[in-house]
Copies of this chain bind each other. A is one copy, B any other.
Amino acid sequence: MGVVGGGIGSFIGPIHRQAALLDNHIELVCGSFSSHPEVSRRSGAACGLPENRVYDTYQEMFRQEMQLPADRRMEIVSIVTPNKYHIEPAIMALECGMHVVLDKPLTLTLEEARQLVRKVEETGLQMAVTYTYSAYPAVKEARTRIARGELGTLRRLYVEYTQGWLSERIELQGADNARWRTDPELGGTGGTIADIGIHALHLAEHVTGQHVTELCAEANTFAPGRQVPDDGTAFLHFDGGMKGCLTATQIAKGDNNYIRIRVYGDKGGLDWCQPDPNKLILKGFGEHEQTIYIGKNTNLSEAAAWNTRTPGGHPEGYIEAFANIYRNFALTVLALRQGETPTPLMLDYPTVYDGLRGMQFIETMNASNSNKDTKWTTWIE
């Protein structure tokens, strides 16, 4: 695996690498870690890479790696850059015949996303998008139980993602992670919607198997002078008749990454929350509330068990969820390389189409928010 971005100073870069390596299916062989060559070099050294596999630019990385014999060259590329710099390296990687892991959101704009879908379809290569929260085993258990019909007809969904780190304009105080996220040129116009709202949307659609058809949204910019929304809320109508309420905010001062989903059907409900990620609460089944504790010794659905690593009671966290995406992606690539058909469990990672839906969501949210009169905005394909 080669990486683009995620060098020293990045929050999410090391997470990607740890997640990729955890299962011993992926080896880190090269990288272009930063647009600053010096940072890239220091980052590569810190990762234990030889100097000649650490590149000053990703353009150079692709050029040089293609010079290497196929069995020494990187086979997959992981792209962990600000949103603006997703499309170009992704296209380059695909054109080099490499599979791609891309951090969300897929691209800067919906138009770019459509372009990337076409490129993936043309090349027939694999693309994973790291909607991490839907890779927790408890989330897989929730999804399976709903798919089996255990909750009956779905009625009501609440999904929320609250953070507080953008409560103040830290982008003006040198916080690089905040800077590009709040700059429409680098992060897009979605702001909070693009950064975490799409996580909530993907979680909702992944867990329920239903898709939003129209929505009514409001986005807010609370921090004075900020150019993108730092808060948003939406009512959602789903194709299966379920009604949803989605909230995402980055100005909830004091909140960490509080992402929670609750789904209620006519036969029962489910509650999952990242601060307690190994629990899935079942509501309305039998006389009393039930709590599933995820673990290798728990009686879980196949999808949840496949994505579980520890004995019950030993917490699994964010890196393990991340690693589930990388592992499933790697097993798919390996199977394809060996001419085998990947199993459904291997294929269970978010794809370019999930990435596309995220970009459509941002666009639809923006449209609904801009329209102060019309209540419902149809999903923008």
| Residues in A lying within 8 Å of B, measured CB to CB | 11, 14-15, 17-18, 21-25, 28, 47-48, 155-156, 158, 160, 163-165, 167-168, 216, 218, 220, 222, 231, 233, 235, 243, 245, 247, 249, 251-258, 262, 264-269, 274-278, 282-293, 295-297, 299, 309-320, 371-376
With contact pairs A22-B22, A247-B158 given, residues A164 and B15 touching in the complex (Cβ less than 8 Å)? no
Kindly provide the distance from the CB of A164 to the nearest chain B CB, expressed in whole angstroms.
6
The answer to whether A11 touches B47 (Cβ under 8 A) is no
Which residues from B are CB-within-8-Å of A47?
24
The answer to whether A22 touches B319 (Cβ under 8 A) is yes
Contact of A222 among B21, B155, B220 (CB under 8 A): B155
A372 to B371, CA, bound (A): 14
Which residues from B are CB-within-8-Å of A249?
156, 264
The answer to whether A316 touches B314 (Cβ under 8 A) is no
Kindly provide the distance from the CB of A36 to the nearest chain B CB, expressed in whole angstroms.
21
A28 to B25, CA, bound (A): 11
With contact pairs A222-B155, A314-B257 given, residues A164 and B283 touching in the complex (Cβ less than 8 Å)? yes
With contact pairs A275-B315, A316-B317, A318-B315 given, residues A231 and B156 touching in the complex (Cβ less than 8 Å)? yes
Which residues from B are CB-within-8-Å of A311?
11, 256-257
Kindly provide the distance from the CB of A320 to the nearest chain B CB, expressed in whole angstroms.
6
The answer to whether A245 touches B243 (Cβ under 8 A) is no
Kindly provide the distance from the CB of A229 to the nearest chain B CB, expressed in whole angstroms.
11
Which residues from B are CB-within-8-Å of A216?
216, 218, 375
Kindly provide the distance from the CB of A160 to the nearest chain B CB, expressed in whole angstroms.
8
Closest to A12 in B: B311
The answer to whether B264 touches A164 (Cβ under 8 A) is yes
Which residues from B are CB-within-8-Å of A222?
155-156, 266
The answer to whether B275 touches A313 (Cβ under 8 A) is yes
> In this complex, which of A222, A296, A314, A372 has the most chain B Cβ atoms within 10 angstroms of its Cβ?
A314
A318 to B294, CA, bound (A): 13
Which residues from B are CB-within-8-Å of A317?
278, 310, 314-317, 319-320
The answer to whether A290 touches B290 (Cβ under 8 A) is yes
The answer to whether A283 touches B266 (Cβ under 8 A) is no
A254 to B11, CA, bound (A): 35
Instruction: Other than A218-B243, A251-B264, A315-B315, give 5 A-B pairs with Cβ distance below 8 A.
Output: A17-B24, A156-B249, A254-B282, A290-B290, A316-B318
Contact of A310 among B15, B155, B251, B288 (CB under 8 A): B15
Closest to A136 in B: B315
The answer to whether B315 touches A310 (Cβ under 8 A) is no
- 4 tightest CB-CB pairs across the interface, nearest first? A256-B313, A254-B283, A254-B284, A257-B313
> In this complex, which of A245, A276, A278 has the most chain B Cβ atoms within 10 angstroms of its Cβ?
A245
Which residues from B are CB-within-8-Å of A25?
48
